[in-house]
Amino acid sequence: SARAETLKIAVAANFTNAARGLGAQFEADTGHNLLFSFGSTGKLFAQIKYGAPFDIFLSADMERATKTGNERLGLPETQMTYAVGRLALVTNGAKLQDGGEILIRPPEGKLALANPKLAPYGAAARDVLKWLGVFEQWMPFLVTGNSVAQAYQFVITGNASVGFVALSQLHDKPRNSYWLVPKNYHQPIRQDAILLNAGENSGAARNFMKFLGSSAARKIIARHGYDFDVIKQAN
Amino acid sequence: MPDLNIQLNGSIGNFDLSVDLQLPSSGVTAIFGPSGCGKTSLLRCVAGLEKISNARITLNGEIWQSSEKFVRPHKRSIGFVFQNSNLFAHLTVRENLGFGKKRCGNIQTGPSLDEITVLFGLEKLLERAVGRLSGGEKQRVALGRALLSNPEILLLDEPLSALDQASKNEIIPYLERMHRFIDIPILHVTHDITEVERFADRLVLMDGGRVVTYGPVIDMLTNSDLPFSQSQGAASILEGIIVDIDLDQGLSRISVDGGTFLVTGQPGNIGDAVRLRISAADISLGHEWDVSKISILNGLATRIIGAVEDDTQMQVTLALGKDGSGAKLLSRITRHSWERLGLAVDGEIFALIKSVALADPSGKSL
Amino acid sequence: MPDLNIQLNGSIGNFDLSVDLQLPSSGVTAIFGPSGCGKTSLLRCVAGLEKISNARITLNGEIWQSSEKFVRPHKRSIGFVFQNSNLFAHLTVRENLGFGKKRCGNIQTGPSLDEITVLFGLEKLLERAVGRLSGGEKQRVALGRALLSNPEILLLDEPLSALDQASKNEIIPYLERMHRFIDIPILHVTHDITEVERFADRLVLMDGGRVVTYGPVIDMLTNSDLPFSQSQGAASILEGIIVDIDLDQGLSRISVDGGTFLVTGQPGNIGDAVRLRISAADISLGHEWDVSKISILNGLATRIIGAVEDDTQMQVTLALGKDGSGAKLLSRITRHSWERLGLAVDGEIFALIKSVALADPSGKSL
Amino acid sequence: MLEIVFLTLKLAFVSTVILLIFGTPLAYWLARSPVWWREIIGAIVTLPLVLPATVIGFYLLVFLAPNSPAGEVLGNLFGHPLPFHFEGLVLGSVIYSLPFVVQPIRIAFEAMGELPLEAAATLRSSPLNAFFTVALPLARSGLITGGVLGFAHTIGEFGVVLMIGGSIPGETRVLSIAIYEAVENLEWSKAHIMAGGMLGFSFAVILLMMLLNKTMDRSRNA
Amino acid sequence: MLEIVFLTLKLAFVSTVILLIFGTPLAYWLARSPVWWREIIGAIVTLPLVLPATVIGFYLLVFLAPNSPAGEVLGNLFGHPLPFHFEGLVLGSVIYSLPFVVQPIRIAFEAMGELPLEAAATLRSSPLNAFFTVALPLARSGLITGGVLGFAHTIGEFGVVLMIGGSIPGETRVLSIAIYEAVENLEWSKAHIMAGGMLGFSFAVILLMMLLNKTMDRSRNA
Ligand SMILES: Nc1ncnc2c1ncn2[C@@H]1O[C@H](COP(=O)(O)OP(=O)(O)OP(=O)(O)O)[C@@H](O)[C@H]1O
Ligand SMILES: Nc1ncnc2c1ncn2[C@@H]1O[C@H](COP(=O)(O)OP(=O)(O)OP(=O)(O)O)[C@@H](O)[C@H]1O
Ligand SMILES: [Mg+2]
Ligand SMILES: [Mg+2]
């Protein structure tokens, strides 16, 4: 298809930077034009349900993408995991001696995390605390943000002493300034994409879905702090 | 045919108003009565600003209010001067004056803005914000604004109360001329009986929301049943015609029913109808009158047709002419004099009145 | 020693005010002048509501304003009646009346709320919202509120302009009594010269922001340089003492400097000082006077001490007593009579005045 | 960037104008109507405030969805569904800012009282004419304050706008969303610049309006 | 749930009271001060509006952080840092709702004019006394409207509150955050219930205040 198309893509906020990287590459490759709308996954889902003109939905989790398919808002057969998020622990300056050791110690200051109900990173962070057996101990010290972004802001502004954030937020930070939480501490944070009804007949949209699974795209995605170890390939 | 009909029966808040007036569609009707008797309420009903349920108001056959109909205020051709001026705070004096003028259609019969400006001495105030006017200045602007709106009826709620005598003396004759030329009815609320005497044709006397009585000023003032004739300020009003003017002496001769008066000044031209106001306290009674011995220029033969004893004074009603067929006069003398002079009803007596006492305070008209 | 000092030199907006007054710390000072001449501005400066840069105001030695000092309005013991009432819209009549009373300390010398309520006829209005009062009712509440605040000086800006004569006749004598008992100075702006004549001790005549002249009312009214004596309403004020009362005839004899007057009514008790107002137009002149022939009870021997020709009238100044040493009287007669009677300055003549014309319109006091 | 600024200003101006056009008669009615349910309408106008902006946005989204009755009508009227279009943003902003515009104007109308309107009526000014020539000028302070509050709130609001607009570049992505996203995305220097510019510009506009109000003031001490 | 409702009401009441306590003198000053920079303050008060709520929240977070100068002072004052505590929510709500409270009150004070205060002064009422006994009652409409707007806006606001509060159950998790969460989390029936309850309650409160205002109204036609 030679004709340049404009695609509207709804993207989970945590994937903002990676999406921009992907978009630049895709636009350069194909000449199509991408319009990203960033937002929380819940908001994006509601918008899609009530008629938002998006062609593709890059969810921050698996459920909302599945739900999109189930409710016939998108094409279930196109659902794919485009990235797996990695959780990281940061502090507001204090050195992280030995990984999650700071979590075992008696709590000091606030622990920031994303709202477990709204953001998969929040749910994962809670898993970690439970896995370490310190959830009860930290309970009174938890502050939750809307999103991982807010959790990170709590820490950066010095209001929380430690916080769970997405690795993607730290991709330009030195490796020793955070603790990358081992994958087995929490359920995998699978981020699924799905082609929406509006994009069904768009060659560019199908192209982009294909591109999302390409190794070129994966390289970019990886560079922004995401993994690929459990990829459910769409057929 | 009475052309202004006002029938009101109802209440405003918990103030009961009960009015039934038939007035001619020209001339000045003074509305007089104690504070809180309903004068303002009456005007507001006529203007349509207050809507009493049971009311009928017609002007020149046009129904303004009836059981079926209520003409809204802006559809009534009224000029209203509020008791508190009620100028538009966001407009200058000029814009306030022009507000009604602009909206009264193309009719060019009314006074011009320039005329009103000069008459009311507003030349220097035209561009002023109305918040910076003195009390009297506000009142003058409000009156000017109403006059400029070319009304079919003027409703004036104490329009001159904040004005000095000199301003009043400028404005009253103008209103008088105006209502004679344009020939519209004027309802004029005032507390000043001299304004009534000088300026009104009819008088409505109100109390407690009702009309006590109403009629021609002349009859009302001399009617011994009404408080006016009983008061120390009682006066009679005579209507006469100028029959002679002595410019040199500055005296005019005015013929009334049953006699002739010499008054100072020149109240008009020969043949003009004028009004004489004679305070009862200004009329002395005497058995003889010699104009060479005393500065009293008027000594009229009268017959005593009534006398009411009021405490230690006598309120004497006189009729001009030896036969007592002429106009009526009120005189007020002490009982002491009444007795000493041996006066009695039906007796003849000279009514002695100074010419100067007959001059109009404005010095312009009578 | 003059106890109220008002020196003002400056401007309000672009209105220039230039006043220099020394007044005693008691008695009524009437402020008189055309609309917009600065009467309200003067009162506002005294109250401290307007702050003119170059001013000095002292009351009883206390400095209210000087180049170094400015006492804020609420620290000045004033009672101010605004020209527009200016009641508190959020309070009832009772609360308005009580507002000042509450704040004037524990001094119980002033009138009580009940007293004021009765005097001003406010009994039925006490619980009313002030937005629902008539114009005159508002003015009465405002005056009552000021009187209740127990002031050291009363500043009254046309406090009676919206009131009928009957209400005025109730209120003025009260103010008169009050200022005599409490002995505070009153500055009273009015356009009504009869109010001045009845009620004021001193008169300040203003025009264009300046004091034209000021002085005792009696002198001012008869001063032939001032407009009062020239006007048709000119009058003289005489001060006298009641020397005899004839209850039966209802006449009182009042002795003034150079003569005695018979007046109707009982203005007070024997020995009381009273004031007589005699309108110039009410004084006739005659070469003879026979009380048995005419109802004029007062014929006083006088000497003509001045005469001003005013158009076709003569403004004659008389002095009581054959030698012309007594109190002064103004008479206004036609030039015609002046000539016919062959009058001239320094001649002797009877001044003829009806007793009834000498009665006070209020019927209460002179 | 320029596009975003332009869109933002367009939204703010259009919304403010619409708010004033609809809010002023509503305020006038609220200030003067004698009907008993007047205060109920007054309370309803204020009510959108108590819901979080995104929630309002969500309900608007539901209400205006293409397959809803209202959505169908409005969609036909405008030729496209309102959500995710500029017109939808305007609608959302107007509903959410309405109380801030209506209430100050209402107070100004109430403070004015009946008297000026009575004077106008006696001078042959119809109620409509008096509304424009007397009531509006006398309520100027309220109108300007209402306009300023509506303008500022529309500029700053992002919850409703984000929900109903979807942050589509060039169509519904306004400055407040851009700043929000920049902050969320940790692009703080970008956020500072945008916030600073917005503050500076708005400050100038607001100050200008308020000074304008004062210089037009004739009625002090009236 | 009850805890959340209670916290929300506490926040709304406390904020409204504080807004009225600080906003009223500020409005009085803005309405009457003769200084030239008065309008600048007026504009600054309005300015927080033009920033998205979360952005305001973010800047407040920076400003109040325990290691910032202001944060240190306030932290010592209250015994703990303000963010993530109830007091922080109050501060954020107050700053963000201030213009809605100040402006209606200011208009009411301006409409009142100088005359009633002059009358009060001639009756020995000091400026402070006149403020309480004359100015406040006469500006009642403005105060109630300001209070209602402040109350409603505090209840509905969640951007600032979420940012500075951290949604801690029992401490800073208010109803608006809960509704927002429910909507985002697709728990729509839960959202409907909460939103409905909030609307109903607020409607009652607002209507009550407005009816109260009218029944206290003596000054119509004054
Ligand atoms: N704030 C102001 N700025 C400019 N001029 C003013 C201001 N206030 C009053 N004036 C003017 O000052 C003059 C004096 O006003 P003032 O109110 O003192 O008059 P007044 O003697 O009380 O008149 P009236 O008898 O009509 O009440 C008037 O011409 C008025 O227009
Ligand atoms: N809205 C209202 N509700 C109840 N009573 C009212 C209302 N308006 C006026 N009144 C009362 O009605 C009576 C008549 O008022 P109105 O203003 O007509 O008197 P007025 O004759 O003009 O008196 P004034 O000479 O003092 O102006 C007064 O006693 C007043 O208190
Ligand atoms: Mg009246
Ligand atoms: Mg004045």
Atom of ligand 2 nearest to the CA of B43: 18
> How do residues E80-139 score in pLDDT, each as one tens digit?
888 888 999 999 999 999 999 999 999 999 999 999 999 999 999 999 999 999 999 999
Residues C211 and C267 in one domain: no
Kindly state the average pLDDT of the residues D111-119: 93
Total count of domains within chain E:
1
On whether the CB atoms of residues D127 and D145 are closer than 8 A, the answer is no
On whether the CB atoms of residues C215 and C204 are closer than 8 A, the answer is no
Domain boundary among C216, C243, C274: C216
Buried b (16+ CB within 10 A) or exposed e, C258-277: bbebbbbbbbbeeeeebbbb
Report how far ligand 4's centroid is from the alpha carbon of C33 (Å).
10
Give the pLDDT score at B333: 85
Look at C16-30, C99-113, C128-142 and tell me which has the smallest mean pLDDT: C99-113
Residue D138 banded pLDDT, cuts 50, 70, 90? very high
CATH number, domain at D108? 1.10.3720.10
C-alpha pair distances (Å), B311 with each of B306, B315, C360, C363: 16, 10, 15, 11
Nearest Cβ partner of D149 from E99, E148, E180?
Answer: E99
Measured CA to CA, the distance from residue A28 to residue D177 in angstroms comes to 27
Measured CA to CA, the distance from residue A144 to residue A146 in angstroms comes to 7
| Segments of chain A scoring below 70 in pLDDT | 1-2, 94-98, 229-235
Residues B207 and B251 in one domain: no
* Closest of C157, C4, C181 to residue C76, by C-alpha: C4
How many other C-beta atoms can be found within 10 angstroms of the C-beta atom of residue E208?
A: 13
Does E219 have pLDDT greater than 80?
Answer: no
Kindly state the average pLDDT of the residues E173-198: 87
How many other C-beta atoms can be found within 10 angstroms of the C-beta atom of residue B111?
A: 17
* Domain carrying residue B278: 235-359
Look up residue A173 and give its amino acid.
Answer: K
Residues C147 and C13 in one domain: yes
Percent of chain E at pLDDT > 90 equals 49
Q: Does D65 touch chain A (CB under 8 A)?
A: yes
In a domain, C353, yes or no: yes
How many other C-beta atoms can be found within 10 angstroms of the C-beta atom of residue D169?
A: 16
CATH number, domain at B284? 2.40.50.100
Measured CA to CA, the distance from residue C275 to residue D65 in angstroms comes to 91
Phi, psi (deg, nearest 5) at residue D202: -65, -40
Percent of chain B at pLDDT > 90 equals 32
How many B-D residue pairs are in contact by the CB < 8 A criterion? 82
Report how far ligand 4's centroid is from the alpha carbon of C157 (Å).
7
C-alpha pair distances (Å), A77 with each of A69, C141, C347: 8, 87, 134
How many other C-beta atoms can be found within 10 angstroms of the C-beta atom of residue A107?
A: 17
Chain B adjacent subunits, 3+ CB pairs under 8 A: C, D
Counting ligand 2 atoms within 8 A of each CB, the residue from B6, B8, B14, B15 with the most, and so the one to mutate, is B15
Task: Tell me, using a 6 A CB cutoff, whether residue C60 lines ligand 2.
Answer: no
Rounded to the nearest integer, the mean pLDDT of chain C is 85
* Domain carrying residue D42: 2-221
Can you name the residues that pair with C216 across neighbouring β-strands?
C202
- For B163-209, strand residue ranges (E) read 185-189, 202-207
Residues B125 and B207 in one domain: yes
In a domain, C221, yes or no: no
Residues C295 and C151 in one domain: no
On whether the CB atoms of residues A146 and A60 are closer than 8 A, the answer is no
Q: Is E112–D113 a contact, with Cβ atoms under 8 angstroms apart?
A: no
Residues C210 and C273 in one domain: no
Which residues are CB-neighbours of C50 under 8 A, at least 6 positions away? C12, C41, C44
Residues C182 and C240 in one domain: no
Measured CA to CA, the distance from residue C144 to residue C130 in angstroms comes to 13
Which residues are CB-neighbours of A171 under 8 A, at least 6 positions away? A17, A223, A224, A225
Q: Is A42–E163 a contact, with Cβ atoms under 8 angstroms apart?
A: no
Measured CA to CA, the distance from residue D175 to residue D193 in angstroms comes to 11
Measured CA to CA, the distance from residue E190 to residue E198 in angstroms comes to 12
Residue nearest to atom 23 of ligand 1 (CA): C36
Percent of chain D at pLDDT > 90 equals 49
Residues B182 and B251 in one domain: no
Task: Tell me, using a 6 A CB cutoff, whether residue B166 lines ligand 1.
Answer: no
Residues B69 and B143 in one domain: yes
Can you name the residues that pair with C303 across neighbouring β-strands?
C319, C348
Report the relative pairing of strands B348-353 and B284-286 from DSSP bridges: antiparallel
Interface test with A, best of E184, E185, E190, E192 (most A CBs within 10 A): E184
> How do residues C344-353 score in pLDDT, each as one tens digit?
888 888 888 8
Give the pLDDT score at C362: 37
Measured CA to CA, the distance from residue C275 to residue C290 in angstroms comes to 26
Rounded to the nearest integer, the mean pLDDT of chain E is 89
In a domain, B228, yes or no: no
- What single DSSP character describes residue B37? S
Q: Which residue has the higher pLDDT, D15 or B269?
A: D15
Q: How far is E209 from chain C (nearest CA, A)?
A: 18
Residue nearest to atom 8 of ligand 2 (CA): C132
Give the pLDDT score at C361: 38
Phi, psi (deg, nearest 5) at residue C340: -65, -35
Look at B285-289, C118-122, C194-198, C206-210 and tell me which has the smallest mean pLDDT: C194-198
In a domain, B54, yes or no: yes
> How do residues B178-235 score in pLDDT, each as one tens digit?
777 778 899 999 988 878 877 788 999 999 999 998 888 877 777 667 766 666 667 7
- What's the burial of B91, exposed, middle or buried (CB within 10 Å: 0-12/13-18/19+)? buried
- What single DSSP character describes residue A58? E
In a domain, C53, yes or no: yes
Total count of domains within chain C:
2
Q: Which residues of D touch E104 (CB under 8 A)?
A: 103-104, 107, 145
Task: Tell me, using a 6 A CB cutoff, whether residue B124 lines ligand 1.
Answer: no
How many other C-beta atoms can be found within 10 angstroms of the C-beta atom of residue B352?
A: 25
Q: How far is E53 from chain C (nearest CA, A)?
A: 39
Percent of chain A at pLDDT > 90 equals 41
Percent of chain C at pLDDT > 70 equals 93
Chain D residue with minimum CA distance to A17: D185
Measured CA to CA, the distance from residue C263 to residue C285 in angstroms comes to 18
Global confidence as pTM: 0.88
Q: Which residues of B touch C282 (CB under 8 A)?
A: 281-282, 354, 357
Residues B199 and B305 in one domain: no
* 3-class secondary structure, B325: coil
Residue reference for tokens 């009373």: C101
Measured CA to CA, the distance from residue D39 to residue B87 in angstroms comes to 31
Q: Classify residue D113 as left (phi > 0), alpha (psi -120 to 50) or beta.
A: left
Residues B168 and B23 in one domain: yes
Q: Is E116–C89 a contact, with Cβ atoms under 8 angstroms apart?
A: yes
Measured CA to CA, the distance from residue D156 to residue D177 in angstroms comes to 9
On whether the CB atoms of residues A88 and A151 are closer than 8 A, the answer is no
Kindly state the average pLDDT of the residues E165-177: 85
On whether the CB atoms of residues D158 and D53 are closer than 8 A, the answer is yes
Residues C149 and C293 in one domain: no
Look at B48-57, B275-284, C130-139 and tell me which has the smallest mean pLDDT: B275-284
Q: Using an 8 Å CB-CB cutoff, list residues of chain E that contact chain C.
A: 115-116, 118-127, 129-130, 133-134, 137-138, 140, 218-222
Report how far ligand 1's centroid is from the alpha carbon of C186 (Å).
21
Q: Using an 8 Å CB-CB cutoff, list residues of chain C that contact chain E.
A: 47-49, 72-74, 77-80, 82, 84, 86-92, 99-100, 103-104, 129-132, 145-146, 149
Can you name the residues that pair with C23 across neighbouring β-strands?
C4
> How do residues E31-45 score in pLDDT, each as one tens digit?
999 888 998 999 999
Phi, psi (deg, nearest 5) at residue C200: -100, 145
Look at C89-93, C231-235, C255-259 and tell me which has the smallest mean pLDDT: C231-235
On whether the CB atoms of residues B100 and B145 are closer than 8 A, the answer is yes
Kindly state the average pLDDT of the residues C99-114: 77
On whether the CB atoms of residues D160 and E107 are closer than 8 A, the answer is no
Residue nearest to atom 18 of ligand 2 (CA): B38
Q: Which of B157-171, B227-241, C26-40, C291-305 has the highest mean pLDDT?
A: C26-40
Rounded to the nearest integer, the mean pLDDT of chain B is 85
Give the pLDDT score at C364: 32
Domain boundary among B185, B216, B247: B216
Does E52 have pLDDT greater than 80?
Answer: yes
Give the pLDDT score at B105: 65
CATH number, domain at B189? 3.40.50.300
- What's the burial of E130, exposed, middle or buried (CB within 10 Å: 0-12/13-18/19+)? buried
Give the pLDDT score at C103: 79
- Neighbouring residues of the ion ligand 3, judged by CB less than 5 Å: B 40, 83; C 134-135
